[in-house]
Structure 1
Amino acid sequence: MKKVKLLYNPFSGDNAIIKNLDNIFETYQENGYSVTPFRIGRKFPLEEAFDDIDDYEHLLLAGGDGTINNIVNTMKRLNVDCPVGILPTGTANDFALCLGMPKDISIACKQIIDSEVREVDLGRVNDKYFVNVASMGLFTEVSQRTNVNLKNNMGKLAYYFSGITELPRFKMLNLTITSDGFTFDGPSLIVFIFNGKSAGNLNIAYKSQIDDGMLDVVIVKGDVGVKTLISFFEFMMGEHLEKPKGVIHFTTNKLVIDSSEDIKTDIDGERGPDFPLNISCQKRSLKVLGYKL
């Protein structure tokens, strides 16, 4: 039998992977694979999952975007180039959804098994990679403060409600953003740098392509009063790229973001590095299975 290694985070989302382990084993076994599980946790260094990596056809990853981010960064650090299949078992699963993975785990497994290897882009901020999005501003504050149970139960509505409550007391970001032929210097409400398409299941960068060697940058400008509110709600409704009042959208393969302020950054739902940020697109840097056009 062919072998696949399952790396799973039992705490991602609402513990969905625990309920689906037997479905995964059954689907893979029916298709001529044996599955070796590796439980991600504090007691087990993630590096140990790759000790015998040459024995496996591919890796099967189960967790949210933060878990996938951690695995991919570990793979890059260890120079592991094994194809990965990603199951949507976390809270948001933005990267898995960008790849077109169905929510049904058994169907997702079959889609991975029946697919060909494709290469997709990764983003990089300083010395860390991101699979889906780097961000700063209101969305980052909301994401890091929103109750996990609220996210699990309400999905994207949790971000709507939390964003509304944060807006009146949110301090605008003062940033300098430079890219080829573009400079932004001033206040902003939200900044996204997308490799994928969505954040918190909000389909923000819906024009983004994950294998074009480019990142999609979305800046919600920090205008005060009514303009800020209008931009914010247009942004939440997914109309910001077609009706760009107060919103800047462009694509690039590299940019630099700097600020003298103490601003939190976020990559794939986890705390990101401090400024300055040197951000680039690493074209076709990850081998994936199950990618559905």
Structure 2
Amino acid sequence: MKKVKFIYNPFSGENIIINEIDKVIKIHQMEGYTIVPFRIDMNINIHEAFNDIDQDYSYILVAGGDGTIDSVVNIMKEKNIDIPIGVIPVGTANDFAKLLDMPLDVGECCKKILNSVPVPVDIGKINNKYFVNVASTGLFTDVSQKTDDNLKNTIGKLAYYLKGIEQLPNFRRLKVNIKSEEIDYDGYMYLMLVFNGMTAGNFKLAPKSEITDGFLDVIIFKAVPIKELLPLFIRVIKGEHLDDPGVIHFKTRELKIHSNEDIVTDIDGEKGPDFPLLINCVHNGIRVLGINENS
């Protein structure tokens, strides 16, 4: 039988995958695959999931959120493992899986993966780490990092919004220097996002992003006067923000970011590296199953 490495995070989202494991195994067995499971646990190094990966494995199946997918992709790159991945979205936001148009039903998701062929897609790289959806810095970028897992599992995405409200007293403008072939910006901002995907926390902030074009979409929310923030937020809700004078948007293959501000970076909900940052697009960086060719 062909083998599939099944890496699942029992703590992702609302712990959905725990009750779906038998379904995953059954559907794969019916198609002639043997599932080799690995349960993510804080007491076990996730690198151990890859110790037996060889030519007998057809693909790696990942059940979790964006952070779990990032962990898997980073280890695959570190170990030069070049086999396709399939994604079962059981996290809180599932931004990358939504980009791939993966169904939320675990059984339907497995069937879609099994009835597909691998498609090369881009990933981002920030210093020495890779990301699949978005890297960000500025205000509110560490909301996911600071949100309690139990709270996320209980009330889902609402937990992010509540944590964001808590940080409003820290609202301030931030000095940054951003350089690429397309732009040289030395000024103030509130928030900056570098997208490989389209959404962050289910907000479709990068509607022009494409996962196979070899470019990253950069969106900078400049430090506009406070009175202009509400109209800008409304334009974000409507998807009209890219044309707002308070927003800088461009596509690039590579950019450098530096800041002396006391701010962190975020990679798909996990802590990112410190400044200075070198971010680039890795064209066709991974192969993904279940994706529509025109996604």
Question: Into which bin does the TM-score normalised by the smaller protein fall?
Answer: over 0.9
1:227-272 residue CA offsets vs partner (Å, 9 max, x unmatched): 133323433443312x423111110000001011221110111011
Measured in 1, the distance between the counterparts of 2:179 and 2:119 equals: 31
- Matched residue type, 2:11: F
Contact 1:88 1:101 (8 Å CA) reproduced: yes
Alignment of 1:135 with 2:136, yes or no, is yes
Structure 2 Cα separation of the partners of residues 216 and 155 of structure 1: 27
Q: Residues 5 and 60 of structure 2 are in contact (CA less than 8 Å); yes or no, is this contact kept in structure 1?
A: yes
The residue correspondences of 1:249-288 to structure 2 (distance < 5 A) are: 249-288=249-288
RMSD: 1.8
- Name the structure 1 match of 2:197: 196
CA distance in 2, matches of 1:2, 1:176: 50
Q: Deviations over 1:2-50 (max 9, x none)?
A: 2111011111111111011111111111222111101122332222222
Preserved CA contact (<8 Å) 2:132 2:268? yes
- More deviation, 266-275/21-30: 21-30
Which residue does the alignment assign to 1:81? 82
Cα distance per residue 1:265-289 (max 9 Å; x no partner)? 1011101100000000000010110
Report 1:211-226 matches (<5 A). 211-226=212-227
Does the CA-based 8 Å contact 2:182-2:250 persist in structure 1?
Answer: no
Aligned partner of residue 251 in structure 2, secondary structure: strand
Gaps of 5+ in 2: none
Instruction: Establish whether residue 101 from structure 1 lines up as the match of residue 98 from structure 2.
Output: no
Instruction: Name structure 1 gaps, 5 residues minimum.
Output: none
AA in 2 matched with 1:265: T
Q: CA 1:224/1:145 → structure 2, altered by over 3 Å: closer, same or farther? A: farther
Q: Which residue of 1 aligns with 2:116?
A: 115
> Is residue 220–residue 232 contact of structure 1 (8 Å, CA) maintained in 2?
no
Report if aligned partners of 2:182, 2:252 keep a CA contact under 8 Å in 1: no
The number of aligned residues is 292
Q: Are the aligned partners of 1:65 and 1:269 in contact in 2 as well (CA < 8 Å)?
A: yes
Q: Does 1:41 align with 2:15?
A: no
User: How far did residue 206 of structure 1 move?
Assistant: 1.6
How far apart are the structure 2 equivalents of 1:105 and 1:64? 13
What one-letter code is carried by the residue in structure 1 that aligns with 2:268? D
The TM-score with structure 1 as length reference comes to 0.93
Partner of 2:211: 210
**Equivalent residue, structure 1, for 2:15:** 15
Structure 2 vs 1, CA of residues 43 and 158 (structure 1 numbering), >3 Å: closer, same or farther? closer
Mapped partners of 2:48, 2:154: distance in 1: 34
Q: 1:93-112, CA deviations, whole angstroms, 9 ceiling, x for partnerless residues?
A: 11111111110110000000
Q: Secondary structure at the match of 1:262?
A: coil
1:57 paired residue number: 58
Bigger Cα displacement from structure 2, 223-232 vs 79-88: 223-232
Q: TM-score, with normalisation over the residues of structure 2?
A: 0.93
8 Å Cα contact 1:10-1:40 kept in structure 2: yes
- Could you tell which deviates more after superposition, 78-87 or 199-208? 199-208
| Contact 2:142–2:271, Cα closer than 8 Å, also in 1 | no
Contact persistence 1:156–1:202 (CA under 8 A): no
The aligned counterpart of 1:169 is 170
Is the 1:231–1:245 Cα contact (8 Å) retained in structure 2?
no
- Percent identity reads 53
SS of the residue 2:218 aligns to: strand
Contact 2:142 2:265 in 1 (8 A): no
